[in-house]
Copies of this chain bind each other. A is one copy, B any other.
Amino acid sequence: MAVPETRVDLTETELAAWRGLLRVHTALVKALDAELAAAHDLPLSSYEVLITLESAPDRKRRMAELADSVLLSRSGMTRLVDRLEREGLLVRDTCTDDGRGCFAVLTEKGAELLERARPTHLEGVRERFLVHFSEDELRRFASAWERVLPGAASAD
């Protein structure tokens, strides 16, 4: 007897919810990155690293930790930290506990730039994204992401 065919196409609503996510993300990130780069010569990816460092104990974090927190490969993080170190926004510090390891530490210059860049960025996020939603809707978003994230990475 016939097993019901797996439905293939998406409904209008499904498509709108999914493709909308793609478009919104791409557009927002592009705009915010351009804005930040124009105002402070700081790409969004660099900003994310500095923000992560700032909120860390002693303003320092391991490389792998950083890579995970901004979803970048280890080698990608090596080079991003290279660039930031070249600009004096952070320095590498040897890890005494683990000879293989290495810390990235936010410098004063990095902290200062971050202080200037933060209002720009947060204003951008607010004007382009947050402003459209109520507190309640934002909570729905947050809960939605919590449901999706665990199963997003692995292949099920």
Chain A interface residues (CB < 8 Å from chain B): 6, 8-10, 13-14, 16-18, 20-31, 35, 71, 118-119, 122-123, 125-130, 132-133, 135, 137-142, 144-149, 151-156
Contact = CB atoms under 8 A, between A and B. Distances in A.
A146 B23 CA distance: 10
A7 to B, nearest CB: 9
Given A20-B149, A24-B149, A147-B132, A10 B142 contact: no
A31 B153 contact: yes
Given A24-B148, A140-B140, A145-B21, A9 B122 contact: yes
Contacts of A156: 127-128
A23 B132 contact: no
A129 to B, nearest CB: 6
Q: How many monomers of this protein are in the complex?
A: 2
The A interface, classified by DSSP as helix, strand, loop or mixed, is: helix
A16 B119 contact: no
A25 B18 contact: no
Given A10-B122, A20-B145, 6 more contacts: A10-B125, A23-B145, A31-B155, A127-B156, A128-B148, A132-B144
**A31, A144, A147: residue with the most chain B Cβ atoms closer than 10 Å:** A144
B152 A128 contact: yes
Contact of A129 (B31, B148, B155): B148
